[in-house]
Structure 1
Amino acid sequence: MSTQHDAEIDALLGRYFDGLYHSDSSVLRTVFHTDLSYVNGTDGTYETMGLEDYMARIDARTPPASRNDPREEVVERIALKGDRIGIVEARMTMLGRNYQDLLTLINTDEGWRVLTKVFSFVERKD
């Protein structure tokens, strides 16, 4: 079932994947809420950080796009609860890893934003 928010959330996720692939913090700042909570739940590498620390990491990263790394993204599920909150389950391949993301969304005065990014990854075997 389509909602009035579909196009905006699709655009948000497009910016999310593009911003990560190009390591573009200016794009990602249009995706993430200023109160972002970033959580790496990968076994053995658990860590948390806020928006500014995460953007500094993005800025220091060599963009996967500059190496023509293979890129694959799949949005597995989007579930909204009313007009204000939702969750996205997605997966992507980048930096030699397969990532699983859980993104919570909040609809703000500036539009939909990712409030929490909880993810894990496994190294690719190919």
Structure 2
Amino acid sequence: MTKQDHVEIQGLMGRYFDGLYHSDSTVLRTVFHDDLAYVNGTSGTYEHMGLEAYMARIDARTPPASRGDPREEVIERITLKGDRIGIVEARMTMMGRNYQDLLTLINTDDGWRVLTKIFSFVERKD
């Protein structure tokens, strides 16, 4: 991974976490590829949708920031395969849940974008 790739992906992930916490689909559209595949792999709640359906859900959501929800996020690993594809393993806490994300990345003419978001969550106990 080049230093430039690292900087771009760190920026992408910053927008990802901010966009989710503030329920800001405008910001999230700078993160996700137009062909996004969103997959909730949590046991009993499997679902799959594309970008527009997911952005409609984001727009309808009460932003966790407006409720003052605690916010924690960590990029656990960034792995690139060549200069065009990669994966980010991340976790975050918001909306009373601990999320585990696997995000596949593709390097486009517009920079790095998330092509697939596969995640699961568990309810927090606190």
Residue by residue over 1:104-126, the C-alpha shift from the partner in whole angstroms, topping out at 9 and shown as x without a partner, is: 00000000000000000000000
Match of 1:57 in 2: 57
Question: Unaligned 5+ residue runs, structure 1?
Answer: none
Residue by residue over 1:40-90, the C-alpha shift from the partner in whole angstroms, topping out at 9 and shown as x without a partner, is: 000000000000000000000000000110000000000001110000000
Query: Which AA in structure 2 matches 1:9?
Result: I
Secondary structure at 1:5's aligned position in 2?
Answer: helix
Residue by residue over 1:11-42, the C-alpha shift from the partner in whole angstroms, topping out at 9 and shown as x without a partner, is: 00000000000000000000000000000000
Residue 21 in structure 1 maps to residue 21 in structure 2? yes
Match of 2:78 in 1: 78
Is the deviation greater in 2-11 or in 45-54?
2-11
CA distance in 1, matches of 2:95, 2:111: 29
CA distance in 1, matches of 2:68, 2:2: 34
CA distance in 2, matches of 1:13, 1:37: 17
CA distance in 2, matches of 1:32, 1:18: 13
Alignment of 1:83-98 (within 5 A): 83-98=83-98
Match of 1:111 in 2: 111
Q: What's the RMSD between the two structures over aligned residues?
A: 0.9
What TM-score results when the alignment is normalised by the length of structure 2?
A: 0.98
How far is 1:2 from its partner?
Answer: 5.3
Runs (4+) of structure 1 exceeding 3 A deviation are: none
How far is 1:99 from its partner?
Answer: 0.2
Residue 12 in structure 1 maps to residue 12 in structure 2? yes
What TM-score results when the alignment is normalised by the length of structure 1?
A: 0.98
Query: Which AA in structure 2 matches 1:58?
Result: I
The share of aligned pairs that are identical, in percent, is: 84
How far is 1:3 from its partner?
Answer: 3.3
